[in-house]
Chain A
């Protein structure tokens, strides 16, 4: 009898989640969950608060260990948390170079900051930044190491509606420059439609319905297909009767 504990990876790229279980006490939060993410694909994980989205993301980040099943992720990965989690005692540039050990770290950090439209703010203290700016620094810190996988845990939830729309544009722009698998966790249906290649809805500790989104940028903002998708997502979330 063989126990599935071999540490050799079965896939070379992307993310593989197979039959993962995670329990807190007697509460099973993730119940034999399966999910794959391809190279260069942006998957949005949609679900109400407390459904286990963040639990799955923490497992993928390697911050927690599963109670069963198997996860495979690239070793070179980065996370953007819900709060900016900047070190208040380090200037913006040093916050971005935190995980970099190469000699050209400063130069790369400057480039990453320029990509999130923060060129010239390298010497600022985190307390001097607005919420949107701080979250952009967090994005730069994640992207500066050229990760193969970026995990985003409700990264724009604390921002105002206008700033959030700007951040969505920024994510589109960054995806043209960086090629990485992305998993974005959110409870915002509109954010999911704006950004996703594929939307997976979580329910009862598993992946429920999956929607592949193949809309043009304009259609994502306003179209019949968008409204149909939105209605389907709301139905998946159990909110159909209200609309």
Chain B
């Protein structure tokens, strides 16, 4: 009997805390737990936006939110469908996308060419870096009036504003990415007998790729910002025109249609970069949050 009883002094003194680790799936594998896990974030990152939409809809239906203040999401959807049927939205969206594509194309082309020259050549750095740093500090919206004076109020100003927004971050990120490639890897590649072409294609380009994708992300975001800014100034067609016109007549639902389309463009741009990152940076095991 005395053998089974714990020693008196051990019982009185609390033992130091200890951790016990067991295989992860051995604990709490009840059907309830697995159901809860599946319900926790059913739509991934889009769970929160969807929840906001549902709350918004309920509040609008209940009359808490006035239609002129924030129309119900279903109202925005039906307005979108209506505008599309009336043949207003289609051409406006097309002209906006065209502006974005041309501006982005010019901006990325200039940003990539100058970024590569600046990254690889000392001369290129001297030619482009100062200008890019100065341009980077100039806000996109502040140059808009100047662009209007210089290039008029036609398409050219809009396209160039988008190109400006896309080109500067691409240059800066690409330059930094190329200069940031590990010098020891370049040195190693040279000693193996790899020629300049191999060093560029197998070391510098893949090494600069993560930074390039960061630049692309900024370029896409800024080009959409440029699109919005450009289209609110003296446009007679395009999404910005749709919004400005709706604002004039206090058609809040149409303003929201424009905003929703801008945000969808932004989401699409983000998805494009995410996909590129997943495919191009397979070698990089990244941190996965719990």
On chain B, the residues within 8 Å of A127 by CB distance are 283-285
- Which 7 A-B residue pairings sit nearest by Cβ, starting from the closest? A99-B192, A99-B193, A89-B206, A85-B188, A89-B283, A99-B194, A79-B191
Q: Is A35 an interface residue (CB 8 A)?
A: no
A 62-95 contacts with B by CB, 8 A: 62-63, 77-79, 81, 83, 85, 87-90, 94
A-B contact pairs, 9 of them (CB 8 A): A63-B190, A78-B192, A85-B188, A90-B283, A98-B189, A98-B202, A99-B192, A127-B284, A127-B285
| CB-nearest residue of chain B to A76 | B193
What is the interface of chain A, defined by CB distance below 8 A to chain B? 61-63, 77-79, 81, 83, 85, 87-90, 94, 98-101, 125-127, 141-142, 145
> Please, how many angstroms separate the alpha-carbon atoms of A142 and B189 in the complex?
11
What is the interface of chain B, defined by CB distance below 8 A to chain A? 184-185, 187-195, 198, 202-203, 206-207, 209, 281-285
Most A Cβ at <10 Å: residue of B187, B191, B202, B209: B191
> Please, how many angstroms separate the alpha-carbon atoms of A63 and B190 in the complex?
9
Indicate which residue in B185, B206, B209, B282 contacts A85 across the interface (CB closer than 8 Å). Answer: B185
Q: Are B185 and A98 in contact (CB under 8 A)?
A: no
| CB-nearest residue of chain B to A61 | B191
On chain A, the residues within 8 Å of B202 by CB distance are 87, 90, 94, 98
> Please, how many angstroms separate the alpha-carbon atoms of A88 and B188 in the complex?
13
Indicate which residue in A89, A98, A125, A126 contacts B192 across the interface (CB closer than 8 Å). Answer: A98
Q: Are B184 and A83 in contact (CB under 8 A)?
A: yes
On chain A, the residues within 8 Å of B192 by CB distance are 78, 98-99, 141-142, 145
Q: How far is the CB of B201 from chain A (nearest CB, A)?
A: 11
- Tell whether A89 pairs with B207 under 8 Å between CB atoms, given A94-B202, A98-B198, A127-B283: yes
Indicate which residue in A81, A88, A141, A142 contacts B283 across the interface (CB closer than 8 Å). Answer: A88
Q: How far is the CB of B133 from chain A (nearest CB, A)?
A: 29
On chain A, the residues within 8 Å of B187 by CB distance are 63
| CB-nearest residue of chain A to B184 | A85
Q: How far is the CB of B38 from chain A (nearest CB, A)?
A: 31
Q: How far is the CB of A26 from chain B (nearest CB, A)?
A: 25
On chain B, the residues within 8 Å of A77 by CB distance are 191
Q: Are A145 and B191 in contact (CB under 8 A)?
A: no
Q: How far is the CB of B176 from chain A (nearest CB, A)?
A: 18
Indicate which residue in A81, A126, A145 contacts B188 across the interface (CB closer than 8 Å). Answer: A81
